[in-house]
Amino acid sequence: MPQTADDAVLYIQEEIAAINLAKYRKVQHELEEAEERADTAENAMSKMRARNRNSASVTRTTAANAVSSITLYHHFLLVV
């Protein structure tokens, strides 16, 4: 092949390599952004679960205290 044909093939190969590298970098960047969104969503879910656990715990404690208070009141009425 003449020198100019070799140069043309080399140029085309370099262009293809540059395009593929750009595609790779774009996908890599999109993956990093998706991982960040997933981490953010995971943290938000953990906070919601913790809040729900605390809320359920307070509700159970309040209900248990109410039952205890009613039971004590009934005992008081029986004693008096």
pLDDT at 62: 63
3 state DSSP class of 15? helix
What's the predicted TM-score (pTM) here?
0.56
Q: What angle do CA 24, 29, 31 make, to 5 degrees?
A: 95
What proportions of the chain, in percent to the nearest 5, are helix, strand and coil? 95, 0, 5
* Number of domains composing the chain: 1
Q: Which domain holds residue 8?
A: 1-80
Question: CA-to-CA distance for 64 and 43, rounded, in angstroms?
Answer: 31
Give the pair of three-digit tokens for residue 55: 């809320």
Kindly tell me if the per-residue pLDDT of 13 is higher than 80: yes
pLDDT tens-place string over residues 22-35: 999 999 999 999 99
pLDDT tens-place string over residues 50-75: 988 887 665 565 666 665 666 655 55
Per the listing, tokens 């943290």 go with 43
